[in-house]
Amino acid sequence: MAYGAAMTHRRSLIALVLVAAAILYNTGTPAHASFGISQRWGVDSCGINTVAKAQAFWTHTPYSNIGVYIGGSAAACPMNSASFMTALVNMGWQIMPIWVGPQASCSSFGSRMSSNPDTAFQQGKTEAHASYLRLRSLGMSVDNTPVIYDLENYDTTNSTCVNAAKAFIRGWVTQAHVPTAQKSGVYGSTCGSGLANFATISPAPDFIDGASWDGIKSTRTMPCISSGSWTNRQRHKQYRGDHSETWNGVTLSVDNDCSNAPVYPGPDELDTGQGCL
């Protein structure tokens, strides 16, 4: 390399380093990404409602992820404290935010969506917007943040009910994808909530949180879900439900999750040997 060219190259490198340094100086410590892929274990529980209980289920436990019910008309244990959410994140938890709104039109739950698909579609959009506002009020990033809609069992042989549920979820996903977009998920029984029906809607949910209490941790094993659906790190699995566990002296009723899907915030926590893949 000629001397002049070498000097030019060196100056370019120095300039690059200075620019990078300036960027770091101006932004401080890089914030966590608003989502990461977790392949770890998690817990869902209405009982983890204080910082002390969250700490008890965090320290020297196998759990990294926590399902948090952030609101909705059917949320029996909503968590709407920004300070609690911040405490969870600072502790190290990666969050699965869950929105519990109207249930299927043919279900027996008190809060139900319309059986009219057009109306249900709009209701789905409304719920997604409400969850977006809740994320913001909780002090969370809304850029690509995963949000899960809790849709419980319903009569999946009732075509009117199924079509309304599909329209509702289509509205849920459509609204969530409006910039600044969120990653839109659906929780439900892999069979009883008809999750497979949502694989073919457009837009389809970005990921699912499938409940099948068979004790099998692998997210690939989901009854009623095609092996070809949601294959690109798009599955949480709730593999055990409704039992008591004691960690650090605190006993709570919990459900267990294994993940291969987005959580809030990042970074990625990949293949830690916990059997979720």
Of 60-79, which residues contact other proteins (CB under 8 A)? 60-64, 67, 69, 74-77
Among positions 37, 95, 98, 104, the unique one binding other proteins when judged by CB under 8 A: 98
Say if residues 237 and 257 touch (Cβ distance below 8 Å): yes
Q: Choose the binding region for other proteins from 13-21, 31-39, 42-50, 113-121 (rule: CB under 8 A).
A: 42-50
In three-state secondary structure terms, 161 is: helix
17, 178, 243, 271: which one contacts other proteins (CB under 8 A)?
Answer: 243
Query: Which residue is associated with the tokens 């209405």?
Result: 46
268 is a site residue for other proteins (CB under 8 A): no
If the CB atoms of residues 99 and 121 are measured against other proteins, the closer one turns out to be 99
Answer whether 224's CB lies under 8 Å from 190's CB. Answer: yes
> Contact between 244 and other proteins (CB under 8 A)?
yes
Binding-site string for other proteins from residue 169 to residue 188, where x marks contact by CB under 8 A and - marks none:
------------------x-
CA–CA distance from 156 to each of 106, 152, 199, 209, 224 (Å)? 9, 11, 15, 18, 12
Pick 66 or 117: Cβ nearer other proteins: 66
| Three-class SS state of 82 | helix
Is residue 238 a contact point for other proteins (CB under 8 A)?
yes
Beta-carbon contacts of 8 under 8 Å, excluding residues fewer than 6 positions away, are none
**Contact yes or no for 46/77 (Cβ under 8 A):** yes
Sketch the per residue contact string, 133 through 172, with other proteins: x for CB under 8 A, - otherwise. -----------------x-xx-x-----------------
Q: Whole-number minimum distance, CB 237 to other proteins, in Å?
A: 13
Cα-trace Rg, the chain? 21
Cα distances (Å, whole numbers) of residue 60 to 24, 102, 153, 247: 34, 37, 34, 8
Closest distance of CB 44 from other proteins, Å: 5
The phi, psi pair for 167, rounded to 5°, reads -65, -40
Q: What is the binding site for other proteins (CB under 8 A)?
A: 40, 44-47, 53, 60-64, 67, 69, 74-77, 98, 100, 108-109, 150, 152-153, 155, 187, 189, 191-192, 211, 213, 215, 238, 240-247, 249-255, 272-274
